[in-house]
């Protein structure tokens, strides 16, 4: 058996970032992965140091560490609506605990992190916010996990139209009812955002939320809309749409 640590770096991309002070979480779901130390390296990289009390092989530590690192990445992306990229395996150190010798072997390796694009805005996480963030990261695996992962993949898209359309697709799946209807999605959105802008749909002779109206500008010819106006409308509203997706996922 081995005892030691496996490190990962989680790169951030997009125009928004988050900076986290050093803190520690315990993941009871993973018996061999006892503690995870988390901290921002800079505006664009978060480091994870996963400690193992007893694990069979270094390969097992790498495999389990990857699962833990991706879970942390998914939940960070969901909580702060930031583009969190796939974790990169880094340094490791292990010693044998099943054979006691004066010089137990330690295995080390490292990887290189490639810098990414510049940041427009960085959210600073204060010490007073750490308890709530810990609760999110330490929470047990639930049926929300697959949606956390989808959310992280979507929010990484650079194109606001792609982000908007994929988030709307998630809402159709989560709140569209058995037939995945836009009307059901609008009912949910209005319940979350009573003052949402409504747009009249002359084809259906009814009002739609701005989100549904913009979504339909992609698949239908809407008088007065242009590709650029649709793009700008989606760019202006995609962040709020992401909040509605978060609310729908949180209900599960």
At residue 111, does pLDDT exceed 50?
Answer: no
- Percent of the chain beyond pLDDT 90? 69
Q: What is the pTM of this model?
A: 0.86
Chain-wide mean pLDDT for the chain?
Answer: 88
Strands 121-124 and 16-19 turn out to be parallel
Report the run of H or E that residue 250 belongs to, with start and end: helix 227-250
Q: Which residue would you say has higher pLDDT here, 143 or 34?
A: 143
At residue 114, does pLDDT exceed 70?
Answer: no
Give per-residue pLDDT as tens, 73-106: 999 999 999 999 999 999 999 999 876 555 554 5
Residues 6+ apart with CB under 8 A from 45: 9, 10, 11, 12, 113
**Domain locations in the chain?**
2-140, 157-250
| Average pLDDT estimate for 21-28 | 88
Strands 23-26 and 33-42 turn out to be antiparallel
Query: How far is residue 154's CA from residue 239's CA, in Å, rounded to a whole number?
Result: 12
Q: What pLDDT is stored for residue 113 in this prediction? A: 44
Report the run of H or E that residue 69 belongs to, with start and end: helix 58-80
Query: How far is residue 70's CA from residue 39's CA, in Å, rounded to a whole number?
Result: 15
Q: What is the 3-state secondary structure (H, E, C) of 141-196?
A: CCCCHHHHHHHHHHHCCCCHHHHHHHHHHHHHHHHCCCCCCHHHHHHHHHHHCCCC
Pair of tokens at residue 165:
């359309």
Give per-residue pLDDT as tens, 196-230: 999 998 888 889 999 999 999 998 778 788 999 99
Q: What pLDDT is stored for residue 122 in this prediction? A: 84
Q: What pLDDT is stored for residue 33 in this prediction? A: 63
**Are 148 and 242 contacting, i.e. CB atoms less than 8 angstroms apart?**
no
Query: How far is residue 34's CA from residue 5's CA, in Å, rounded to a whole number?
Result: 10
Give per-residue pLDDT as tens, 40-74: 999 899 999 999 988 999 999 999 999 999 999 99
Q: What pLDDT is stored for residue 31 in this prediction? A: 64
Indicate the SS3 state at residue 66.
helix
């Amino acid at each position: 058996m081995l005892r030691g640590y496996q490190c990962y770096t989680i790169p951030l991309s997009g125009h928004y970032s988050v900076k986290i002070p050093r803190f520690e979480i315990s993941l009871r779901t993973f018996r061999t992965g006892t503690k995870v130390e988390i901290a921002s390296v800079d505006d664009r990289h978060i480091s994870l140091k996963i400690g193992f009390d007893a694990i069979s092989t270094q390969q097992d530590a790498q495999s389990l560490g990857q699962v833990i690192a991706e879970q942390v990445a998914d939940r960070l992306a969901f909580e702060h609506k930031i583009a969190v990229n796939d974790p990169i395996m880094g340094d490791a150190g292990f010693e044998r605990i099943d054979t006691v010798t004066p010089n137990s072997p330690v295995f080390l390796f490292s990887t290189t992190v490639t810098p990414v694009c510049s940041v427009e805005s960085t959210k600073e996480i204060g010490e007073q916010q750490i308890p709530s963030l810990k609760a999110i990261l330490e929470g047990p695996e639930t049926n929300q996990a697959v949606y956390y992962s989808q959310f992280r993949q979507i929010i990484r898209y650079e194109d606001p139209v792609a982000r908007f359309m994929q988030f709307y697709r998630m809402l159709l799946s989560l709140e569209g009812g058995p037939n995945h209807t836009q009307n059901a999605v609008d009912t949910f959105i209005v319940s979350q955002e009573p003052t949402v802008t409504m747009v009249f749909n002359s084809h259906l002779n009814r009002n739609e939320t701005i989100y549904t109206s913009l979504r339909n500008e992609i698949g239908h010819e809407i008088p007065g809309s242009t590709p650029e106006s649709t793009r700008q409308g989606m760019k202006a509203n995609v962040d709020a749409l992401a909040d509605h997706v978060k609310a729908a996922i949180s209900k599960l």
